[in-house]
Structure 1
Amino acid sequence: MAHNRVKESCSDQSVYYLVTNRIAGGRILFRDQEKHKLKELLFTGCAKLSYQVIDYVFMDNHFHLLIKIPPTSQMDDVALLQRYRVHKQNDEINFISKEQRNDFREKVHDISFIIGNFEQRFVQWFNREHNSWGRLFGQRFDSEMIEVSAQSDSLLRVMAYISLNPVRAGIVTDPQDFFFCGYADRLAGGSVGNSDHDFFDLFCHAIEAGSLRDKQKHFREVFRAYMLGLRRYKNADSQTLAEFFREVNLSEELAWDDLFIHKCRFFTKCLVIGSEAFVREKLLKFSGKMQWKRIHEPYTEDEWNDIYSLKPKRRAPSG
């Protein structure tokens, strides 16, 4: 059965995807050992393919990843060859033609190839470790293209959705206490937070910050406020985060209403998440290729703060 996936191949801009997959049959197979291996493979894969991990969470039977794929033009031929040699585990191998080089450049920037490689390596390890065989994941992974711009809260909402998984599951009361998630990782100074200064520039216009380190720190504080359902910083007149957060108790527990705000079912089955304009742009671009059996339209609800998804709807009955 064909698996619909909206994918961009961009030479001049980054593309972001939310990626999700689950263990077949809902089995609970990811213990700490498996989660450590998933994390190891996810981050070591960055050295041979072309992607950056923006956020992640590894639960007992599924995972969510937020992946950034940089522009193809950003990688020169030297870096591409280096990744090719790591991928092939051969320090002397070279491309035999321009066509092969271009084909590999496309592959290492392709979300299907990236996640397929990650999952394949994990399944091979898992089967060796547990003396098992056969299918581990229930289906091909789901992926949604995410708008990352100052015009939409989509990135913040997706990050909150990912970070709050262990809180919704009752494992911890605060995502900073869950080892296998990007939120705890970025607070500990992990590489998962390397792009946070870019997100500060997108979402924190009313706040002044000097150094890159300050931007990263401030964005993480703002993101925590966002998870708590606090959005006043977007219209704050204050010039510093300190002035804003004096009015806000960031140590308060995450309330049920806040969790509900960040739990949207469309996040893993909708192909595109963003502003209405962004979703309509992708609908126009990709609808001819998809051969959908149902009509797809931008979809939102009141509590989603003008965030839209590309969701199918049933055709109206004839007659």
Structure 2
Amino acid sequence: MAHNRVKESCSDQSVYYLVTNRIAGGRMLFKDQEKQKLKSLLFAGCTRFSYQVIDYVFMDNHFHLLIKIPATNEMDKIELLQRYRLHKKNEEVKFINSTQREEFREKIHDISFIIGNFEQRFVQWFNKVHSSWGRLFGQRFDSEMIEVSAHSDSLLRVMAYISLNPVRAEIVSDPKDFHFCAYSDRLAGGDIGKSDHEFFDLFCRGIEAKDIRDKQKHFRQVFRAYMLGLRRYQSVDSQTLAEFFREVNLSEQLAWDDLFIHKCRFFTKCLVIGSEAFVRNKLTKFSAKMKWKRVHEPYTEDEWNDIYSLKPRRRQASAD
């Protein structure tokens, strides 16, 4: 069974999660048709529940999602009722009382309910199309809470980890050429990047922007430079980016930065990713829930640019 989750229920702030799951037995069952269905279901769920897709990639045997759960108080009663009716497939149904309304509000802001519904719908479709039955995914999905702030480049690192999946798999040399990832959607002007202006304010200090679209463009430039190895993003400006891209020979296969570091299980087998202060805060808050018998500390490596993780409880080693 997968480890316990660290989940926040926040009325006044957004929460971000990296979500991962794999097909049982490592089978390569996600072809183009399956990946397109996964993508369709993922974005369709945004209208019924309360989440936003920040990043995603669908590979042949697994997927990664970066999900933003907005603050619960951002949704008024009218919008909440609309989503309830969509969920119930009934345009006239109403909440019985305020308790039912608030329970539904909490449910559609819960990462377990959101991803559980997404996976269930896909498995039902998959079994019907392929005349199969039983479990498709190997276990419960993994989820890590991600710090999104100016104090840590955790968001950029997690996005790079997601975007570089098809590069590590040697499917493409540049993620912009992989259809089933958010990076190519961003460059095509899709809805996936509609929150990028918020990240501009965190990671593009020193760059001037005229409007939201300009902020989105600059953030995408900074993110691409980050994937390529530019570590000066804290003080980056338009000239720094221009100089950096002139140094990169885009006519050759891109030498993506620290692929091995991006690949490590640091991202998908922990509970929290962020600055040391962020991880310690969650450690203090959730230690009792985890019922750990040994002391846990934020974990990092020299190459991780002061990004820390909170590792789950280790399983006992097998006798053999």
The separation in 2 between residues aligned to 1:314 and 1:176, in whole angstroms, is 37
Task: Give 1:21-36 correspondences, 5 Å limit.
Answer: 21-36=21-36
- 2:137 aligned with 1:140: no
Cross-structure match for 2:154? 154
TM-score (norm 2): 0.94
The offset of 1:254, in angstroms, is 3.1
Cross-structure match for 1:94? 94
Cross-structure match for 1:246? 243
- 2:283 aligned with 1:286: no
- 2:107 aligned with 1:110: no
Question: In structure 2, the residue corresponding to 1:295 is in which secondary structure?
Answer: coil
- Closer, same or farther: CA 14–256 of 1 in aligned 2, 3 Å: closer
The separation in 2 between residues aligned to 1:194 and 1:247, in whole angstroms, is 26
- Closer, same or farther: CA 246–256 of 1 in aligned 2, 3 Å: closer
Does the 8 Å contact 1:295/1:312 carry over to 2? Answer: no
- 2:228 aligned with 1:228: yes
The separation in 2 between residues aligned to 1:45 and 1:102, in whole angstroms, is 19
| Structure 1 stretches of at least 4 aligned residues deviating more than 4 Å after TM superposition | 312-315
Deviations 1:233-286 (A, max 9, x none): 3234x5xx2553134335264326532242231111111000000000000000
Give the counterpart letter for 1:117 in structure 2. N
Cross-structure match for 2:174? 174
Unaligned segments of structure 1, at least 5 residues: none
Larger mean CA deviation between 71-80 and 304-313 belongs to: 304-313
Question: In structure 2, the residue corresponding to 1:288 is in which secondary structure?
Answer: helix
The separation in 1 between residues aligned to 2:33 and 2:50, in whole angstroms, is 26
Aligned length: 312
Question: In structure 1, the residue corresponding to 2:245 is in which secondary structure?
Answer: coil
Does the 8 Å contact 1:297/1:312 carry over to 2? Answer: no
The offset of 1:97, in angstroms, is 1.3
Does the 8 Å contact 1:6/1:144 carry over to 2? Answer: yes
- Closer, same or farther: CA 48–256 of 1 in aligned 2, 3 Å: closer
Q: Percent identity?
A: 79
The offset of 1:179, in angstroms, is 0.2
Does the 8 Å contact 2:225/2:244 carry over to 1? Answer: no
Question: In structure 2, the residue corresponding to 1:292 is in which secondary structure?
Answer: coil
Larger mean CA deviation between 261-270 and 245-254 belongs to: 245-254
Unaligned segments of structure 2, at least 5 residues: 316-320
Does the 8 Å contact 1:10/1:72 carry over to 2? Answer: yes
Question: In structure 1, the residue corresponding to 2:311 is in which secondary structure?
Answer: strand
Deviations 1:168-194 (A, max 9, x none): 000000000000000001111111101
The separation in 2 between residues aligned to 1:255 and 1:163, in whole angstroms, is 14
Does the 8 Å contact 1:142/1:268 carry over to 2? Answer: yes
Larger mean CA deviation between 174-183 and 293-302 belongs to: 293-302
Give the counterpart letter for 1:130 in structure 2. H
- 2:37 aligned with 1:37: yes
The separation in 2 between residues aligned to 1:293 and 1:129, in whole angstroms, is 46
